[in-house]
Amino acid sequence: MIDQKIIETLNNYTELDNYLIKNCVPKIFLVCGHSINHLTLGKYFDNMKSRIDIEVIKFSDFQPNPSYDSIVNGVNKFIESQANTIIAVGGGSAIDVAKCIKIYSNMDHSKNYLQQKIVPNSIHLIAIPTTAGTGSEATRYAVIYYNGEKQSISDFSCIPSLVMLDPTVLKTLPLFQKKATMLDALCHSLESFWSVNSTAESLKSSEAALRIILSNISDYLNNSDTGNANMMRASYIAGKAINITQTTAGHAMCYKLTKMYDIPHGYAAALVNTELWPWMIANSERCCDKRGSKHLLGCFEKISEIFNTSSPCDAAKLFQNIVNSLNMPVISAKTEADIDILQASVNPVRLKNNPIKLETDDISYIYKRILKITDRN
Ligand SMILES: [Fe+2]
């Protein structure tokens, strides 16, 4: 397991300068979205050469939900640059692109990277998240799209060795994005909690993240410095939790919703969990976690205690109320065929982390609830 170094700062990057100087970094390959230009961080990298004599080669040629082709382009640019350090500044997409560039850069460039074995390399990877939600800075996962289809990449060698958390970057983040990314962190904490892969360590992280998120929602949405700092820390801790457990059905079922209804990832995951969670409480006797249904019920009880509610059902209801209170766009199915498309899209491997096995009918039922389709017969 990689031991990550964390720098927590407020708009002051002297510690990062010192780290780069100490590690004799001559050149940086900077993977970032265009939003960096509106941040102090943008200026920080712009004058790095004159300030501490480190050359910066910028790569921004990718979109949210990055395509495999844009990553191949990034790998070529990175090799051309002859840099040995990658810094990712951005949300999940920028960090995921940087992870893939790192792991693909020592592969056979004449073959498809997705079909090759990952061999760890010594390229430095540093992550500076500009949203509080994906937790990608703490995980071994990256999500990219090959011919439009989602691909999950997972390898311990792509966990950034240094993470810099600077909550001042959240000050100018649009409210809609703040809401959606917060929901992502909230879903990571919840799903990690009930995942069949949970450990004492992951449960500690899930609980810590959940407590911080729940007590900072309004401060964070009101853009207070404390609220932003706490949410950024919570997102990172939730990332550490899913790095151990992976996500569950909430995430496995959300990807196609994002694509079909053009809604943000975190909101799509929250929509699934608003229906999945009460369904799991009602079906807890079907628990497939090897620790048994008693363990799962214990998790639900513990989450209820953290939510400060009197029962697991009330906690799930409160979660639903939190999601509703954010006034995100309401989605509805165009036709009943949507349910079949959604149901067929779910990756069964990802469902294996869920504590209750979902059959095809269960998946359809949950999608119908999300899309407010009622069975007529
Ligand atoms: Fe997520």
Per-residue pLDDT averaged across 26-36, rounded?
A: 95
Q: How far is the CA of 270 from the centre of ligand 1 (A)?
A: 9
Q: How far is the CA of 331 from the centre of ligand 1 (A)?
A: 19
> How many domains does the chain contain in total?
2
Pair 213, 265 in one domain:
yes
Supply the pTM of this predicted model: 0.96
In a domain, 376, yes or no: no
**Edge-to-edge strand ranges of the sheet holding 27-32:** 5-8, 162-165, 124-129, 85-90, 27-32, 55-59
Pair 242, 359 in one domain:
yes
Can you state the angle between helices 200-214 and 175-194, rounded to 10 degrees? 150
Is the confidence at residue 134, as pLDDT, over 70? yes
In a domain, 235, yes or no: yes
Pair 216, 154 in one domain:
no
In a domain, 377, yes or no: no
Q: How far is the CA of 135 from the centre of ligand 1 (A)?
A: 8
**Cα(282)–Cα(201) distance, integer angstroms:** 27
Beta bridge mates, 128: 89
**Cα(77)–Cα(93) distance, integer angstroms:** 18
Per-residue pLDDT averaged across 329-356, rounded?
A: 90
Pair 38, 75 in one domain:
yes
Per-residue pLDDT averaged across 308-337, rounded?
A: 94
Pair 193, 107 in one domain:
no
Choose among 180, 295, 192, 196: nearest CA to 251: 192
**Amino acid present at 160:** P
Q: pLDDT (tens digit, 9 = 90+) per residue, 137-175? A: 999 999 999 998 889 999 999 999 999 999 999 999 999
Q: pLDDT (tens digit, 9 = 90+) per residue, 283-320? A: 999 999 999 999 999 999 999 999 999 999 999 999 99
Pair 122, 208 in one domain:
no
**Amino acid present at 244:** I
Pair 217, 362 in one domain:
yes
pLDDT at position 375? 62
Last residue of a domain, one of 152, 170, 188: 170
Q: pLDDT (tens digit, 9 = 90+) per residue, 56-75? A: 999 999 998 899 999 999 99
pLDDT at position 1? 57
113 lies in which domain range? 5-170
Tokens of 86: 């990658």
pLDDT at position 348? 84
Q: pLDDT (tens digit, 9 = 90+) per residue, 90-107? A: 999 999 999 999 999 999
Pair 294, 340 in one domain:
yes
Q: How far is the CA of 63 from the centre of ligand 1 (A)?
A: 17
**Amino acid present at 58:** K
pLDDT at position 301? 98
Q: How far is the CA of 83 from the centre of ligand 1 (A)?
A: 30
Q: How far is the CA of 22 from the centre of ligand 1 (A)?
A: 34
Query: What is the pLDDT confidence band of residue 332, given thresholds at 50, 70 and 90?
Result: confident
C-alpha distances out from residue 201 to 6, 134, 140, 208, 248, Å: 18, 20, 16, 11, 18
Pair 198, 63 in one domain:
no
What is the SS3 string spanning the chain? Answer: CCCCEEEECCCCCHHHHHHHHHCCCCEEEEEECHHHHHCHHHHHHHCHHHHHCCEEEEECCCCCCCEHHHHHHHHHHHHHHCCCEEEEEECHHHHHHHHHHHHHCCCCCCCCHHHCCCCCCCCEEEEEECCCCCCHHHCCEEEEEECCEEEEEECHHHCCCEEEECHHHHCCCCHHHHHHHHHHHHHHHHHHHHCCCCCHHHHHHHHHHHHHHHCCHHHHHCCCHHHHHHHHHHHHHHHHHHHHHCCCHHHHCCHHHHHHHCCCHHHHHHHHHHHHHHHHHHCHHHECCCCCHHHHHHHHHHHHHHCCCCCHHHHHHHHHHHHHHCCCCCCCCCCCHHHHHHHHHCCHHHHCCCCECCCHHHHHHHHHHHCCCCCCC
Residues 6 or more apart in contact with residue 69 via CB below 8 angstroms: none
Q: How far is the CA of 72 from the centre of ligand 1 (A)?
A: 24
CB 264 within 8 A of CB 180: yes
User: In CATH, what number is assigned to the domain containing residue 234?
Assistant: 1.20.1090.10
Query: What is the pLDDT confidence band of residue 334, given thresholds at 50, 70 and 90?
Result: confident
User: In CATH, what number is assigned to the domain containing residue 154?
Assistant: 3.40.50.1970
Query: What is the pLDDT confidence band of residue 377, given thresholds at 50, 70 and 90?
Result: very low
Q: How far is the CA of 14 from the centre of ligand 1 (A)?
A: 31
Beta bridge mates, 366: none
Pair 240, 200 in one domain:
yes
**Mean pLDDT, the chain, as a whole number?**
95
Q: How far is the CA of 309 from the centre of ligand 1 (A)?
A: 25
CB 326 within 8 A of CB 183: yes
Q: How far is the CA of 268 from the centre of ligand 1 (A)?
A: 9
Last residue of a domain, one of 151, 170, 189: 170
Q: How far is the CA of 190 from the centre of ligand 1 (A)?
A: 11
